Structure 1
Amino acid sequence: MAMRTAALAASCIGRKQRPNLIIPLLKNSRLHLSLSDHHDPLSVPHPQSVVRAIQGAATDSAASKKSQTNESQSESSPSNWKVKMLYDGDCPLCMREVNMLQERNKSYQSIKFVDISSDDYSAQDNQGLDYETAMGRIHAILHDGTIVKDVEAFRKLYEAVGLGWVYAITKYEPIATIADSVYGVWAKYRMQITGRPPLEEVLEARKKKGETCNDNKTSNRVTVINHDVNNYTVASLLQSLLPVA
């Protein structure tokens, strides 16, 4: 009897305690479900989203490059320039000096830089100095149109950015003559020294390139004319087929 009473009591106690054991489990289960509901599952982005992201990055990059190019052109063409420097943008050693002068020019805004290796270079805009002449030795153009060359050109350029003392001694003879002679040797052999083809080959390649560009322009004009003629022919044909009002 005592055993049955004890067993019954234990059973009652067990029934009372089971809910207490189950409730935390339910709570934990609900908490887990709640957290699962709020946790974003790992998802694979849609291909179109990836494409849009890449296109956006490319657009930003292109815009950045365009902005940098515009900024560089703006810096190279100050409105209040005192001297214009004609330089060979394809000459690696020359560009070291050009880059230094451009950096100094950010503060002075007194030099206008013109790359003679550019396809857009125009002798007409630079006191008649054609590509061959400008490639032979350094030239600079003062704001009043005066052309200077050789060491005098360097002296004017350095003076424009606060470095006149570098070439100040070349104002006097016989230093000026000696300096021009030394520069003349460099100008004569600079193409070979920098590992480039002779000037004659460069001139020939540029001439052929110009002829090719002219041929392409002519071809484009002919295509446009033919397109206009075809459109006119089609329009005339349609007009002839329409009934006269």
Structure 2
Amino acid sequence: MKPEFSTKVRCFHDGDCPICKAEVKAMKRLDRDGAIEWVDIVCDPAALDSAGIGYKQAMDRLHVIDENRQLQTGARAFLVLWKRLPYYRRLAVLVETFPGLLPLMECVYRIFAYYRLPLTGKRRISEKT
């Protein structure tokens, strides 16, 4: 059974990252109900200001504003998205059922996020940017 959500969530993603772009494209195809507002921070960096997120901060980790208007990042951000998407919902249930999975996901995500920009040929953003 599909859960009902009264409010869209906002996902801030790097539209220039080929890895992110492929992942978001796959999730957008599944988001048939339009439950997620997809914000490409490269095309719309001003959207970050209204959410109180800095550009460097957004480039370092995935950011999602959930249905309660709370900012979620990293693995928790993915969990918010997965709950709204067919097929991924099962993965979200699995992650929430087994207590050690979310911390493990966060650990793996931190490693990926650290190497994401260099892996895609982009430079890390300095604090001053």
TM-score > 0.5, shorter chain as reference:
yes
Q: Unpaired segments of 5 or more residues in structure 1?
A: 1-79, 208-245
**Retained in 2: the 8 A contact 1:81–1:112?**
no
Calculate the TM-score normalised by the size of structure 1: 0.46
Query: 1:151 maps to which residue?
Result: 75
* Pairs aligned (count): 122
* CA 1:123–1:179: 2 relative to 1, 3 Å: same
CA-atom RMSD in angstroms: 1.9
Greater relative CO, 1 or 2 (CA 8 Å, sep 6+): 2
* CA 1:84–1:122: 2 relative to 1, 3 Å: closer
Q: Unpaired segments of 5 or more residues in structure 2?
A: 1-5
Calculate the TM-score normalised by the size of structure 2: 0.83
Task: Give the percent of matched residue pairs that are identical in Structure 1 and Structure 2.
Answer: 26
Query: 1:112 maps to which residue?
Result: 37
Of Structure 1 and Structure 2, which has the larger fraction of its residues in strand? 2
* CA 1:119–1:177: 2 relative to 1, 3 Å: closer
Offset, 1:191: 0.7
Pairing partner for 2:109 from 183, 197, 208: 183
Offset, 1:111: 0.4
Moved over 6 A (4+): none
| CA distance in structure 1 between the aligned counterparts of 2:104 and 2:68, rounded to whole angstroms | 28
Query: 1:85 maps to which residue?
Result: 11
**Retained in 2: the 8 A contact 1:81–1:109?**
no
1:96 matched to 2:22? The reply is yes
1:135 matched to 2:83? The reply is no
Equivalent AA in structure 2 for residue 83 of structure 1: V
1:193 matched to 2:98? The reply is no
Offset, 1:119: 4.9
| CA distance in structure 2 between the aligned counterparts of 1:174 and 1:119, rounded to whole angstroms | 36
Higher radius of gyration, 1 or 2: 1
